[in-house]
Structure 1
Amino acid sequence: MATLNKALAVAAAAVAIGGTTLATASTASAATRNGTCESGEFCYYFNSNNAGSVSDFTGSVADYGTEQPSCYDFKGAGNGKGKCVKNAAASVWNRSSKTVRVYYNSNYSGTYQDFKAGAKGNLNSSLKNQNASHQFSPASRTNLSYGLYKASGGRITCGFDGYTSTPGRHEGIDIARGIGSDVRALVSGKIIYIARGSTGSSGLSTISIYNASANKTVIYLHSAPRSSLAVGQTISRGQIIADESWHGVSSSSGAHTHVEMRLGKQTHAAKSVNDPHLDNPNPTSFWQSQGYNVK
């Protein structure tokens, strides 16, 4: 009898362990990409109106890839199964508890569309079959024209490559608020060059701040550098570096700050006026990666 009881106890323990194992396996299965849109996931659908094959995610993805077998693909049954997700989704269902942002470009940049927790619907005309990355809980961005001054009233007066009447290609972004406005560093880094300049067309000023982690230099033109600035000085994001002015500008009515992103370590801005070639890439994705809207 004792032997029988022992056998029954062992069997009961085995069932309990087996039950635990099955429960664990079920939980793990829910966390894998299995082509079923489950609670806690963000899901793409191949067709509009949440039809066709499903591709499910539990976190952000900066680049889906474009070729099998390494790309993120549609895994669920239905139209589109096995196809790579990039530039192929038409609708979504956000079953997570967080806002998810779908981007036009890889690395969380370009035009985007937000889907709040529980939202279910079609991608808009800019993103349908043009989805390249998605991000859970995207950080809110600050407009570049506000970040430069940490005050309202700033505005972009000429965008990147935005010349309309001036000959050449504009290599940066011009932002204006008013003479004397505090100009702040948009990113942290080390000062590698300063030219203080003076008011008037022949007195161009320059502040060049190199950010080693991004391997990019942000250059500020036309402002009046603060007297405390020195080459080699470490600058924090948001630190006041200058007063808005018209150094290198023919008239005080044209006062503004030219902000230019350059690849690598560069002491001087690229030539814009009367130069038909662009040396700098479009900086939008860089500014977005730093938490700014180009507005």
Structure 2
Amino acid sequence: MPTVTVRVLGALSASVLSATLGVLAVAAPAQAAARDGACNTGEFCYYYNSDHAGSVSDHAGSLADYGSTQPGCYEFKGAGGGKGQCIKNNAASAWNRTGKTVRVYYNTGYNGSHAYQDFAPGAKKNLSSTLKNNNASHQLISAGSSYPAKDDYPYKGQTSGIDPWNFYKGQCTSFAAWAVRSRVGVAFHNQYKGQARWGNAKEWVAAAGRAGVPVYNSPKAGDVAVRLGGTYGHVAFVTRVNANGTFEIDEYNYVSADRYSHRTVSVGTANNQFSKFIRFK
């Protein structure tokens, strides 16, 4: 009887061990599939080189800190240049195959105070000149999520001359163009989508219509808000939409000449309101 008992226990142990090994054998491929160096549906992927060349690093969710040294950092896993290198401050392009907007941050911890770039669902493009090889975290965000209020305009204090997007420096149009380019990730300029010019602020709605860029009557974070009244009109960047229907904007050349301001405003046609919203993405 003792011998039988030992054999039964041995069989049970072998069975348990076999089951455990079976679980481990299944778990390992599942982890590999999560990050296998291929950009699969549902993933956000970095590429080591511009134009989606070189090794790939694929991710199914947000990451607040990639790590910066081996072992322990998130690395490029696919074949090609850069394979095995840490992805922090090493990516040049990205492809968003998730169903949400993905925001890439210059700093760890989803800190966008210096710079960030949004990738809409399906977007496949190079990182901006600021974010290229300066990517430290990324986050999946819901549509319409807020943008940090900040004065990141590169020509603050300048009141004359033309910016690289062909608007006058210090004006609301120049700042709005900068915000669309740096925050939304759309390469907007005064001749965007073949227009002779987008012109003064009050002309942007008509220009958007000709260019096929959608215009709405209610705001979403990331929109350009347009006031049609006045000699030149006014444009601002929508940073947040509040539950009570008001929304917040970053702007230039309104509260003070050629200077930044952040306000909470509402939809309407008064001088301190906005009635149209251009949605570049």
The structure that is helix-richer by fraction is: 2
The structure that is strand-richer by fraction is: 1
TM over 0.5: no
TM-score by length of 2: 0.40
Structure exhibiting the larger radius of gyration computed from Cα positions: 1
